């Protein structure tokens, strides 16, 4: 999740919740709580953080990304090339989850 409710013009204008919130807006708000990873320099964006988090699990064989443009695809590929999130980012996530996001 990008942390913004605005949808790309080529994307679906309205979506159902995709995480654990009761609405898409609640999912976006929950994603914004993870912006600390960007502020602390662990990732360049929430999208990058999400892709790299998925890559952190060595047992993960496939990471699906949604994109509306070729630039989105290139961005996802560049994020994947950076590899998994560093241990410090994973520790920060664990602390956030303890706070009951």
HEC per residue, 29-58: HHHHHHHHHHHCCCCCCHHHHHHHHHHHCC
Average pLDDT over all residues of the chain: 84
Cα torsion 76, 80, 81, 85: sign: positive
Task: Please give the model's pTM, rounded to 2 decimal places.
Answer: 0.79
**What pLDDT digit, counting tens, does each position of 17-50 carry?**
666 667 778 888 888 889 999 999 999 999 999 9
Q: What would the two tokens of residue 7 be?
A: 């949808």
Residue bearing tokens 């990008």: 2
pLDDT at 36: 94
d(CA 86, CA 53): 9
């Amino acid at each position: 999740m990008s942390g913004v409710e605005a949808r790309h013009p080529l994307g679906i204008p309205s979506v159902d919740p995709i995480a654990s919130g009761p609405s898409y807006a609640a999912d976006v708000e929950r994603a914004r709580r993870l912006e600390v990873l960007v502020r602390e320099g662990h990732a360049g964006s929430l999208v990058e953080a999400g892709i790299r988090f998925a890559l952190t699990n060595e047992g993960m064989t496939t990471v699906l990304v949604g994109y509306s443009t070729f630039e989105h695809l290139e961005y996802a590929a560049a994020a994947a090339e950076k590899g998994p999130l560093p241990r410090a980012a994973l520790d920060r996530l664990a602390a956030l989850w303890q706070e009951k996001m």
